[in-house]
Amino acid sequence: MIKYHGVLFDLDGTLIDTAEDFILCLNDLRSEYGLSPLPANEIRKVVSDGARAMIKLAFNIEESDRNFEERKLQFLDLYLNNIARKSRLFSGLECTINWCEANAIPWGIVTNKPRLYSEALLRALDLHTRINTLVCPDDVTNTKPDPEPLLKACDEINISTNQCLYVGDHARDIEAGKRANMPTIAAAYGYVHHSDEAQSWQADWCVTTSDELNTLLQTLLTPQSGNSFPQAAKF
């Protein structure tokens, strides 16, 4: 079996379950406008599509609407102030991080979540001193599905792309990984629209639970001989 020497994760819906905080904030904002709460499962399905998708869902408006930007900013302010009320690592992934650290295997995050919110979340969960690289849209010219963020992350942890795994819960994650020549893992437990959707992305592996991902990663990963373990990312 081929062994790999590092792993990169998408953030929301892959490494950390952030949906509950988005659900709370979006429904709080709806309440301010006299609207009743939306069902949690409806919001969860669009979390990976970002704030714009959530505002469209919450208020049934398009980006061209004159109120769109104001409500998006209100939502993001609410989220920043409540960023880790319920957000947690998915089950089993604390074990994954501990195992990577114990075995000198670098890990990191490549996300389309802006750095302001990514850093705040990682600090709140005490992961900011443990992660070896964090690449956000602010750090690159092109975001996923372009491979640029993944190429940057692999360079920062000094591992060839074909020796580093990428895990994501959206089609753009798997596309970006393939374009970067990285082996990919589809996280079907994440914020996918349909339970069988992840299979269609044709990742190298597809896992249906985060505990299954933990087991798979410990099977696939091994330290890279002669490679110094990178320091934690500084932010």
- List residues with catalytic annotation: 10, 12
Please write down the HEC assignment for all residues of the chain.
Answer: CCCECEEEECCECCCEECHHHHHHHHHHHHHHCCCCCCCHHHHHCCHHHCHHHHHHHHHCCCCCCCCHHHHHHHHHHHHHHCCCCCCEECCCHHHHHHHHHHCCCCEEEECCCCHHHHHHHHHHCCCCCCCCEEECHHHCCCCCCCCHHHHHHHHHCCCCHHHEEEEECCHHHHHHHHHCCCCEEEECCCCCCCCCHHHHHCCCEEECCHHHHHHHHHHHECCCCCCCCCCCCCC
Residue 11 CA to residue 90 CA, distance in Å, equals: 11
Burial (CB count <10 Å: 0-12, 13-18, 19+), residue 126? exposed
